[in-house]
């Protein structure tokens, strides 16, 4: 007998995500997918390719470049765009460039606000997108557990956590007025473990930063960060030591903590993850600013 029981949990999650992506393209006139180059983005890109095969991606990929990303991420991004032949839009906040914003000098809060949150708003306003597909997962952080899959935003990209549309079955309300938009999270129901298992099973390409290797790191604000370029203050750079580390998440290199690890393959990464006693977000400096930090950032329009 054919039944749902024959689809594994990953195949069910995959089908659900593809359904969501197709719903976006069918219902919105100007969608865009956020591309952060990390593992979740890589899975999203893979799902989107599957959803519309044999056609090409029917929407552009948008990367908000804070100009402090790991160098390898940028090279990886450009190679993917070339190989898969998708439209890539890259935006950096010109005001931030002018002010020469640096996480080392201006702090993570200011840097994130100007180069990420403001830059994102600029890019979204410029593109006039009515649906913005993001890679957030509900298991990442407590305030995300209540986010809808289709999350409504007003004209100012603001999220009202207490006034969300009910979301039932697999029926998504896509109605918006001009100027309003919807943030769509196709991998809401995936966990970090699901993501890694799927990458492993589907052989999805990801940046090598996820794998352990010997590299130069320094101690900075309680985490280990990689010496990725010359912009790191010299005094800090002088404290660099070679260590075998890898990254659980990818972002701006001064804000992304490395973990000591010897995992050089996907099974080893998964094994390490299963034994881990700290959550994925611990490596992200921004969450520690204050309690409920992510909730406040999201209300302001952060992804």
Interacting positions 84-123 with another protein (CB under 8 A): 84
**Among residues 72, 167, 289, 300, which is the contact residue for another protein, using CB under 8 A?**
167
Question: Which residue lies nearer to another protein by CB, 64 or 263?
Answer: 263
- Residue 169 interacts with another protein (CB under 8 A): yes or no: yes
Range 248-287, binding another protein (CB under 8 A): 267-268, 270-271, 274, 276-279, 282
Considering only residues 16 to 75 of the shown chain, the ones binding another protein according to CB under 8 A are: 16, 18-19, 22-23, 25-26, 46, 49-56
Q: Running DSSP on this structure, what letter comes out for residue 166?
A: P
Residues 60, 88 contacting (CB under 8 angstroms): yes
Q: Considering the complex, state which of residue 69 and residue 248 has its C-beta at the smaller distance from another protein.
A: 248
Quickly tell me which residue has 């990303």 as its tokens: 69
Min dist. Cβ of residue 95 to another protein (A)? 29
CB of 235 to another protein, least distance (A): 29
Rounded Cα gap, residues 209 and 29, in angstroms: 36
**What residues form DSSP beta bridges with 31?**
131
Among 2, 85, 222, 238, binds another protein (CB under 8 A): 2
CB of 280 to another protein, least distance (A): 9
From residue 206 to residue 245, the character string flagging contacts with another protein as x (rule: CB under 8 A) and all else as - is ----------------------------------------
Q: Which stretch binds another protein (CB under 8 A): 85-93, 117-125, 227-235, 288-296?
A: 288-296
Longest dimension (CA), the chain: 68
Which of 162, 214, 235, 238 contacts another protein by CB under 8 A?
Answer: 162
Q: Which of 165, 213, 241, 242 binds another protein (CB under 8 A)?
A: 165
Among 98, 168, 214, 238, binds another protein (CB under 8 A): 168
Min separation Cβ 120 and another protein, Å: 22
DSSP 138-153: TTS-GGGGG--SEEEE
Question: Quick check: 4 binds another protein (CB under 8 A)?
Answer: yes
* Euclidean distance between CA atoms 28 and 182, whole angstroms: 9
| The length of the chain, given as a count of residues | 303
Kindly tell me which of 12 and 208 has the beta carbon lying closer to another protein: 12
- Residue 38's SS3 state is coil
The answer to whether residue 202 forms part of the interface with another protein (CB under 8 A) is yes
- Residue 53 tokens read as 């095969």
* 153 Cβ neighbours under 8 A, 6+ residues apart: 159, 180, 181, 182, 183, 301
Stretch 130-149 residues interacting with another protein (CB under 8 A) = 138-139, 142-146
Residue of the chain from 12, 79, 100, 239 that contacts another protein (CB under 8 A) = 12
What is each CA distance from 297 to 4, 16, 163, 214, 300, in whole angstroms?
39, 28, 17, 34, 5
**Structure tokens of 252?**
């701006």
The pair of three-digit structure tokens given for residue 155, joined into one six-digit string: 């004209």
CA distance 90 to 34: 10
* Phi (first) and psi of residue 182, to 5 degrees: -130, 135
């Amino acid at each position: 007998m054919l039944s749902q029981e024959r689809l594994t949990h990953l195949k069910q999650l995959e089908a659900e995500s593809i359904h969501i992506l197709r719903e976006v393209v069918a219902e919105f006139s100007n969608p865009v997918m956020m591309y952060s180059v990390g593992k979740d983005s890589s899975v999203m890109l893979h799902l989107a390719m599957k959803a519309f095969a044999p056609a090409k991606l029917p929407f552009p990929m948008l990367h908000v470049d804070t100009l402090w990303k790991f160098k390898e991420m940028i090279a990886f991004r450009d190679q993917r765009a070339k190989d898969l032949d998708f439209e890539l839009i890259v935006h950096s906040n010109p005001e931030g460039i002018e002010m020469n914003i640096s996480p080392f000098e201006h702090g993570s809060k200011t840097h994130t606000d100007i180069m990420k949150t403001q830059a994102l708003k600029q890019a979204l306003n410029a593109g006039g997108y009515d649906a913005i597909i993001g890679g957030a997962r509900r298991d990442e952080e407590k305030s995300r557990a209540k986010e809808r899959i289709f999350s409504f935003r007003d004209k100012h990209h603001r999220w009202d956590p207490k006034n969300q549309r009910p979301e039932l079955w697999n029926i998504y309300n896509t109605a918006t007025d001009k100027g309003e938009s919807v943030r769509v999270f196709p991998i809401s129901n995936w966990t970090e473990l699901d993501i890694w298992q799927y990458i492993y099973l589907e052989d999805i390409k990801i940046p090598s930063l996820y794998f352990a290797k010997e590299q130069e790191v320094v101690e900075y604000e309680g985490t280990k960060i990689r010496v990725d370029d010359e912009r790191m203050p010299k005094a800090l750079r002088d404290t660099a030591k070679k260590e075998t580390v890898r990254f659980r998440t990818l972002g701006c290199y001064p804000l992304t903590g490395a973990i000591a690890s010897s995992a050089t393959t996907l099974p080893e990464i998964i094994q390490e993850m299963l034994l881990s006693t700290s959550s994925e977000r611990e490596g992200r400096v921004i969450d520690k600013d204050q309690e409920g930090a992510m909730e406040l950032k999201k209300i302001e329009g952060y992804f």
